[in-house]
């Protein structure tokens, strides 16, 4: 066999290998490409982006790299689930008008869970799915403790509310949402066990009726999913771990520092991971336990799961 023929055969073999790998490469590029746009919704004292730092740190970019259309909502940093829900609903309608899509996939973290559930409750025709990441779906023991220390109408409540409002105003000012109303007491009332129970009377789709099991996965054409964390100290370099470890002590059950595992359940439970409340959205700046599930990977996997459902 001549040298020329050998080179030609090697070239053909290389070309064949490239062609064989092409579908896999294309599939990888489209891994997160959902039918409907994905809308990420922040929690209490959250934001879309502050000084160039995303609340969902590195997550929108990772989803877009896989082909997803991603929008990051900005609602009041501190307000009731209903007020935040109305703000989100307005943004959803804008996104649908811009994209021409018929529905959206909502993914909410913490107080973003009830916020997204509100939209699915009042306008299910606009929502393909709701994914709750450590959502406060049946209240937080931390909110109960704060409400006990600062009873309604007390001086303590007024002082705490003033400080919380200043923080919320600062967050929204630096993130471009300075016109959004901030009412910390309304947020606190929404996040208590009693407040969550009242909310669930009208917006209980996907919430387990008892115990710590799954809720209904499909309600009014909307699919419901959830996952959460169950650790507080996950990285010794993370300054948020100690405060979360302290707040986690009030639960007496598995929690991520601010929300119990059972309270976070909604619809189909995807999993429980060794993450705390900030790790779940890849904060602080990605500091987390390197030996547990990568939060960015979990969001990518959920997008792929939605894709498989035709959503």
Per-residue pLDDT of 167-225, as tens digits, reads 777 777 777 666 899 999 999 999 999 999 999 999 999 999 888 999 999 999 999 99
How do residues 64-113 score in pLDDT, each as one tens digit?
999 999 999 999 999 999 999 999 999 999 999 999 999 999 999 999 99
Q: Among the options 256, 260, 263, 279, which is catalytic?
A: 256
Q: What is the pLDDT of residue 164?
A: 81
CA distance 191 to 113: 11
> Catalytic annotation on 256?
yes
**Sign, CA torsion 241/212/73/289:** positive
Choice among 42, 109, 111, 277 that is catalytic: 277
In this prediction, residues 36-65 reach a mean pLDDT of 92
* pLDDT score recorded for residue 19: 38
Q: Give the model's pLDDT for residue 18.
A: 42
Residue 237 · residue 262 · CB < 8 Å = no
Can 277 be counted among the known catalytic residues? yes
Q: Is the Cβ–Cβ distance between 82 and 118 less than 8 Å?
A: yes
List 76, 80, 81, 110, catalytic entry: 110
| Residue position matching structure tokens 């704060």 | 146
DSSP string of the chain, one letter each residue: --HHHHHHHHHHHHHHHHHHHHHHHHHHHTTT--SS-EEEE--TT--SEETTEESSTTHHHHHHHTT--EEE----SSS-HHHHHHHHHHHHHHHHHHH--S-EEEEEETTHHHHHHHHHHH-GGGEEEEEEES--SS--HHHHHHHHHS-TT-HHHHHHHHHHHHHHHHHHHHTT-TTS---HHHHHHHHSHHHHHHHHHHS-TT--SSTTS---SEETTEEEEEEEE--S---TT-TTHHHHHHHHTTTSS-BSSSSBHHHH--SEEEEEES--TTGGGTTTTT-S-TTS--HHHHHHHHHHHHHHTT-
Q: What is the pLDDT of residues 220-272, one digit of tens each?
A: 999 999 999 999 999 999 999 999 999 999 999 999 999 999 999 999 999 99
Residues in the chain, total: 311
Instruction: Name the pTM for this structure.
Output: 0.89
What pLDDT shows up at residue 240?
A: 94
238 is catalytic: no
């Amino acid at each position: 066999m001549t040298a020329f023929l050998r080179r030609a055969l090697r070239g053909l073999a290389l070309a064949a290998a490239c062609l064989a790998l092409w579908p896999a490469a294309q599939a990888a590029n489209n891994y997160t490409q959902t039918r409907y746009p994905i809308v990420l919704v922040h929690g209490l004292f959250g934001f879309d982006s502050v000084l160039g730092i995303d609340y969902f740190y590195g997550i929108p970019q990772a989803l877009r790299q896989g082909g997803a259309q991603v929008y990051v909502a900005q609602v009041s940093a501190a307000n009731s689930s209903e007020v935040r829900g109305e703000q989100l609903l307005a943004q959803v309608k804008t996104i649908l008008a811009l994209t021409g899509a018929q529905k959206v996939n909502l993914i909410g973290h913490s107080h973003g869970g009830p916020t997204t559930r509100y939209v699915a409750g009042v306008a299910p025709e606009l929502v393909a799915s709701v994914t709750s990441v450590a959502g406060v779906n049946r209240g937080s023991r931390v909110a109960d403790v704060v409400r006990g220390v600062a009873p309604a109408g007390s001086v303590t409540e007024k002082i705490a509310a003033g400080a919380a409002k200043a923080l919320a105003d600062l967050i929204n000012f630096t993130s471009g949402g300075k016109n959004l109303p901030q009412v910390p007491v309304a947020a606190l009332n929404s996040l208590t066990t009693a407040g969550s129970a009242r909310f669930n009377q009208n917006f209980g789709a996907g919430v387990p009726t008892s115990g710590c099991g799954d809720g209904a996965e499909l309600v009014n054409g909307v699919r419901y999913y959830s996952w959460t964390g169950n650790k507080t100290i996950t990285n010794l370099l993370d300054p948020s771990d100690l405060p979360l470890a302290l707040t986690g002590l009030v639960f007496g059950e598995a929690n991520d520092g601010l929300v119990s595992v059972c309270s976070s359940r909604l619809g189909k439970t995807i999993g429980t991971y060794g993450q705390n409340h900030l790790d779940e959205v890849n904060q602080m700046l990605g500091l987390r336990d390197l030996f547990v599930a990568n939060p960015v990977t979990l969001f990518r996997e959920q997008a792929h799961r939605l894709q498989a459902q035709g959503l």
